[in-house]
Amino acid sequence: MTTVTVEIAGSEITFETGRMARQASGAVVVTQGETMILSTATVGRLKDADFLPLTVDVEERMYAAGKIPGSFFKREGRSGEKGTLTARMIDRPLRPLFPKTWRYDTHLVTVTMSVDHEHPYDILAMNGASAALMISPVPLPNPVGAVRIGKVDGNFVVNPNEQDLLDNCDMDLIVAGTEEAILMVECGANIVSEAEILDALDIAHDAIKKLCAAQHELAAKCGKPKMEVSTAGSVDQDLVAQIQASHGAALEEATSNTDKLELYAAIDAVKDAVVAQYAGDPESETYGEAATAAGKAFDAVEKSTIRQRIAVKKQRPDGRAETQIRPISIEVGVAPRTHGSALFTRGETQAFSVAALGTLKEEMRLDTLGLETKKYYWHHYNFPPFSVGEAGFMRGPKRRDIGHGALAERALVPVIPSIEDFPYTVRVVSDIFESNGSSSMASVCGSSLSLMQAGVPIAAPVAGIAMGLIKEGDDYVVLTDIAGVEDHLGDMDFKVAGTAEGITALQMDIKITGVTFEIMKDALEQAKAARLDILGQMTAVIAAPNEELSEHAPRISKIKIDQSQIGLLIGKGGETIRGLCEEFESQIDVNDDGQVLIYSANGALADALTERIRSMMKEVEVGDEFNGAKVVKTTTFGAFVELAKGTDGLLHISNVSPGKRVDTVEEVLNRGDEINVRVVEVDRERGRIGLRMADDPDVAGKTVEELASVGSGGGGGGGGDRGPRGPRGPREGGREGGGRDRDRGPRGSGRPRHRSGGDEG
């Protein structure tokens, strides 16, 4: 067993090999604190392919955190979002380092063995995958180190703990690179400046150098001999020169097309001519091999032609200037039945983004190894084959879809309101209808627009832009708003999203080792100018979130009641709250603090239910008028009238028909009748509420002070303001006013009726 330890920011990271997974080509256990992962690299058979056959898998095991999976089958299924994103972060910096002609099946696997909820496993997995390759026969030229930089309480922290990342981190920056250069950046931030990003990258690179040195030490101690890389399948440079001479001019003309589909069609036509000329007789035995060689040589000529034109001649394929953004078209409210929708088109890239609002019970529950257990905002991204003019299968989201969706989600998180301010679950979906570069950044713009159109009070609009780089020798050019061909043939894909004030998300992949901090600084400044331009065009269409939600969106009202009134709202066995939900076709949630959330299909129902709950919770006062109050019981001495759920007052028989004397209440009123009454007496000590008819000349138009001298007649009112929850005390008073609880028989003078059953809720 061989062990190497390196200290990063006061915490030890240990690389160990020789104890586990010894049949893999390379296996390393990486430990920090009590977080432990196993990374393996395995070389398989040689493949007859013209691409790098590299597969990366991250297997999250719930036992690592002492959990049992929450699925029906109680075992892990396909990788979750965290595992998928970690696999992408392992793949992206390592893939460019493999030899160009490496054609052996290569499989990198990370298995989580222990997670301590302090040291995130993703950083260890990235370092472990590189270390496993370094001690394996794979001829990787350099190790890759990875580190996280957080901005916690205003200070940069190297590899912050998981709780800080969740609670009070203004920047979560993951950086991977070699000793010489940074290769990959992934960042989510709470609106930070470009200068802060550059400072954090500088700090990260110092730590990366230490991690790379530790991997070199491990490889020196126990690394296996490296396999020789076959030159078979490499590009024939003599053939490249011949094709350049014979078809260079035709290729120059073909690559001058500004329309994407016309460009690709023209390039394919030249390629067909090249293959026809240099592959020989299609019937010959050597045709297949010759056609492949001619195709590879042509691809090299195409790449050189386009790169030279951009970097040296400063001519982009579609004729734009290096800082020019493609034409932008913006529409909002495209889909009438959705809660919020937008169609964002930039050149030949088009994103249709839709925001959907739901109740807090529709949150996304997370069954993961992390501390976060639920999300109230998330973003999904879909990339159908038709968006690039292809026919293909649609079998659910691919890793790319998950990665782009996570990037767009990260870009918008800092501006999404808290659930305290906006108690809705929010899901945004971006469907890519056309794509020719930077569809993820188009989805950021479209999603920001759809949220504003839906009436979600985001703090500020967010826009995104993708930057590129073409570097030929000492000549280079940073490109704004890269198209597909510039991404494919370029040296950098640098996506930046943010508000007018700063950056909220960043993703960078670099394919070469010669990118300096000066180039990155230029790219960030150029991206800021483009972002502000796009934000200006967005705000010209919709400047701020709509003040009203869509008529099709659920209405959520929020009120606060006293904790002692929760039982009153819920009622005995939940009868009160169920009755309200049925009557108003709504949903009511109440927490232990007295926070009440009302979910209704429309605003009218929400307002009516809110007013009903307020009236139930309100203490009845002299002078209050109740219209449409229901008679719930008649007696020989009067009628009990329900003023609110659980609160009745007594309308004495002498007042049921103002100015007239009646022998029985039933001559005028019956149970179920709705009448208008006014409160003229409240005796809280004895639980009496006295009522008079609202149109009684003795009370109509009278002030509260004047009502005090009117009285309720018949010795006072009965019924009851419920008062505080809890067990009833001894009843008082016998039968002074003839009061009677309608549910329980005679109750003296009308003590408060706890219809909720006391302590329910």
Q: What is the pLDDT of residues 255-294, one digit of tens each?
A: 887 788 888 899 999 999 999 999 888 888 888 889 988 9
pLDDT of residue 430: 97
> Is 491 annotated among the ligand-binding residues?
no
User: For residue 145, which of 244, 52, 30 has the smallest C-alpha distance?
Assistant: 30
pLDDT of residue 748: 34
* CB 353, CB 380: distance < 8 Å: no
Mean pLDDT of 431-458: 96
Could you give the domains of the chain? 2-222 (3.30.230.70), 237-311 (1.10.10.400), 328-541 (3.30.230.70), 554-618 (3.30.1370.10), 619-761 (2.40.50.140)
- 750 pLDDT exceeds 60? no
* CB 465, CB 438: distance < 8 Å: yes
pLDDT above 70 covers a percentage of the chain that reads 93
What is the side-by-side order of every strand in the sheet holding 377-382? 328-332, 340-346, 349-358, 425-434, 377-382
pLDDT of residue 645: 67
Mean pLDDT of 88-97: 95
Give the residue ranges of DSSP H helices in 413-491: 439-454, 484-489
Mean pLDDT of 438-460: 96
Strand-strand pairing, 425-434 and 377-382:
parallel
Tokens linked to 505: 């998300």
Residue 730 Cα to chain centre, angstroms: 56
pLDDT of residue 673: 93
What digits encode the pLDDT tens for the residues 292-317?
889 989 999 999 888 888 888 888 88
More confident residue, 233 or 45: 45
Residue 716 Cα to chain centre, angstroms: 60
pLDDT above 90 covers a percentage of the chain that reads 58
More confident residue, 359 or 231: 359
Strand partners, 428: 355, 379
* CB 682, CB 622: distance < 8 Å: yes
Give the residue ranges of DSSP H helices in 44-161: 81-94, 121-135
Say which residue the tokens 């078809």 belong to: 247
What digits encode the pLDDT tens for the residues 27-38?
999 999 999 999
pLDDT of residue 747: 35
> Is 259 annotated among the ligand-binding residues?
no
pLDDT of residue 647: 81
Of 27-36, 194-203, 232-241, 748-757, the one with minimum mean pLDDT is 748-757
Mean pLDDT of 341-368: 92
What does DSSP assign to residue 621? -
User: For residue 661, which of 714, 621, 608, 703 has the smallest C-alpha distance?
Assistant: 714
